[in-house]
Structure 1
Amino acid sequence: MDILSDISDHLSRQALAFYLGPDVTAITANQWTPVSIKGLADFFGKKVALPKRAKGNPWAAAQYIESRRHRKTLTAIMNAAFENPVPPSPLHQLIAALHPPLIVDSWYDGAMRQALSQDKTLNWGEIQGINHAAINEYRWFTAYDATGEEVPMESVKEWQTLLYKPHGSVSPHQNYLISDSDYVEVLTEIDIQTPIPESVQERRSSCSFLFIGCHFDDQMLRSFARQIIKRSKAPHFALVDIENLTRNERRFLEEMQIIALPLSLKKIADFLSDYLSSTLLERRAE
């Protein structure tokens, strides 16, 4: 069985979770929306004069802004960075149409939420990572239904598809994990899985992950991905530029049993489109 056939098999068994990175956002984002960690760091640098140690690193830049200007200023800058809504790409829409049990979206835009909202037959909702200080409560995440209303965590069990935004999102209510202090809190306990919602842990246990548009050249992002896919069903799959992988990225893929796929975003979209078409034909033939 080749790799794409293996992925098709996972899809047919509802045993594939998607893990999306900023390259998926970049498909339809305008030129002003940051679509990489470097782009976000540069955006901070245009808004605030940063010390040398914070330049090029969005987490350090955000920490500097939060420490010197206040959290409200940092949130306002993040809102400005993602104020232009990113329309769902065909890839977003294809993923939504598959009704997967779990979608992890690691960037801050709302395109995946919008794509899911377009399917009126789908019962879905979203969990986002949150900043403790912003809500004056000691909890790691919050849940929203398809309309954007905050709902009890018990509601998640009823959802066919769960969208998980571990770093927060501009929509529906501007929650962001972005500064060093945000991540120190989370990473302190992430090994024991406290910041990972139980519903995510339950759904991942029967799934392999397909990483699309992700990069693993940042230690913090690797740490998050490692913990999010913990105790899931290896092997996993990732669209990557194999020739340009760093040593750390290669080690990460090997450690987490992630099979590298040298496919473009268009190729994976074509594959998912063909899978959906064939599935629809099979249903009509029954």
Structure 2
Amino acid sequence: MDDIKQKIKTGQLIPFLGMGVFENTKTKDGSTLPYDSDSMILALNNGRAMSDRLMYEYSRAAMSLEQRKGREFIIQMTNHIYSSKEYEIPDIYKWLKELKPKYIIDTNMDDSLQKIYNDVEHFLITGVSRITADWDRYLIYLFDVKEQKYTRIEKENLNLDLPILFKPMGSTKPEMNFIISDADFVDWLTEAMGGYAMPNILKEYRKGKDYLFLGVDFSRDTFRMVTNEITIDLNAGLSLFDKEELTKKEDKFIKTHNLEVLNMSINNFINSNE
């Protein structure tokens, strides 16, 4: 695919960010931020590994911690990971700041994405789970540049006139809502399959679009399902992988979704698309 930056600007190529964009990202005190499932588990469990069964995927580990210590613990611990220490946002966000995609998907739960749009009015959609008031598994906000704050709005007021930031797994800001444990993902995916995980306007907009996957782990069942639901009706796309060999599940997913693999690091990708 030629001219990646131009296709992002026109909205044909939609960036889709995963936890891998945080690899080598350190806080001001030198500690590292989670960049894959294993490091997320260690962060949630105060640096301690868990059983092999729980170490398979961080949602399992989070569910175990939630069952033992309560829902509030896992919410506060997730917030603590991203909010207790200062860190510089990963370079890919800085690269995207100049492009300001009209629609961007970020499965990370911190507020790096919001920071690169804080100079323009925009909509923010964050995922939410295990609620009884509504079928919808998202909240919509409008950002006021002058006031530098978000106001929650109804879905009828969402439109394509402003950039749309979609954080399906939730975020630390403007409200702490996280899709983190098995119970969260089961609830979110169940409603996603029923059509309630994203507004109708985005379900129409996404038809025939291409995606640029950056730091997304397709080796884990959960995130393949999440990605599949969000990108229904896609045309094709690109996926960055900085490793020599893909697993069978990764390879099958990539072929099924008509993706082209770019075997390079995110930094090399940025440097080659300056």
TM-score by length of 1: 0.83
Do the aligned partners of residues 49 and 87 (structure 1) sit closer, same or farther apart at CA in structure 2, a change above 3 Å counting?
closer
8 Å CA contact retained: 1:238, 1:260: yes
8 Å CA contact retained: 2:214, 2:240: yes
Partner in structure 2 of residue 106 of structure 1:
107
Partner in structure 1 of residue 15 of structure 2:
18
Partners of 1:86 and 1:155 lie apart in 2 by 34
Partner in structure 2 of residue 130 of structure 1:
128
State the secondary structure of the residue aligned to 1:178.
coil
State the secondary structure of the residue aligned to 1:157.
coil
Partners of 1:129 and 1:12 lie apart in 2 by 25
* 1:24 maps to amino acid: V
Runs (4+) of structure 1 moved beyond 4 Å? 47-52
Partners of 2:87 and 2:23 lie apart in 1 by 9
Deviation per CA, 1:32-72: give whole Å up to 9, x if none.
Answer: 42221111112223278966633453211221222232211
RMSD: 2.4
8 Å CA contact retained: 1:105, 1:165: yes
Identical-residue share of aligned pairs (%): 22
8 Å CA contact retained: 2:22, 2:34: no
8 Å CA contact retained: 1:102, 1:203: no
Partners of 1:263 and 1:49 lie apart in 2 by 29
Map 1:44-59 to 2 at 5 A.
Answer: 44-46=44-46, 53-59=53-59
Partners of 2:73 and 2:267 lie apart in 1 by 38
Deviation per CA, 1:99-130: give whole Å up to 9, x if none.
Answer: 2221111111211111111xx2x331210111
Partners of 1:88 and 1:49 lie apart in 2 by 26
Partner in structure 2 of residue 166 of structure 1:
168
Do the aligned partners of residues 243 and 32 (structure 1) sit closer, same or farther apart at CA in structure 2, a change above 3 Å counting?
closer
* Shift in Å, 1:8: 4.9
Query: How many residues were matched structurally?
Result: 264
Map 1:29-48 to 2 at 5 A.
Answer: 29-30=26-27, 31-46=31-46
Partners of 2:240 and 2:230 lie apart in 1 by 18
Partner in structure 2 of residue 143 of structure 1:
140
Partner in structure 2 of residue 281 of structure 1:
none
- Say if 2:211 is the partner of 1:209: yes
Partners of 1:13 and 1:270 lie apart in 2 by 21
Partners of 2:137 and 2:216 lie apart in 1 by 23
State the secondary structure of the residue aligned to 2:164.
strand
* Shift in Å, 1:159: 4.5
State the secondary structure of the residue aligned to 2:89.
coil
Deviation per CA, 1:155-201: give whole Å up to 9, x if none.
Answer: 33054211111111122211101111111112223233222332331
- Say if 2:200 is the partner of 1:198: yes
Partners of 2:155 and 2:105 lie apart in 1 by 17
Do the aligned partners of residues 52 and 216 (structure 1) sit closer, same or farther apart at CA in structure 2, a change above 3 Å counting?
closer
Partner in structure 2 of residue 181 of structure 1:
183
Map 1:25-104 to 2 at 5 A.
Answer: 25-26=22-23, 28-30=25-27, 31-46=31-46, 53-83=53-83, 84-104=85-105
Partner in structure 1 of residue 252 of structure 2:
251
Partner in structure 1 of residue 233 of structure 2:
231
8 Å CA contact retained: 1:242, 1:260: no
TM-score by length of 2: 0.86
Map 1:265-276 to 2 at 5 A.
Answer: 265-273=266-274
Q: As a proportion of its length, which structure holds more helix?
A: 1
State the secondary structure of the residue aligned to 1:74.
helix
Partners of 2:241 and 2:138 lie apart in 1 by 30
Structure number with bigger Rg:
1
8 Å CA contact retained: 1:17, 1:207: yes
* Shift in Å, 1:242: 5.4
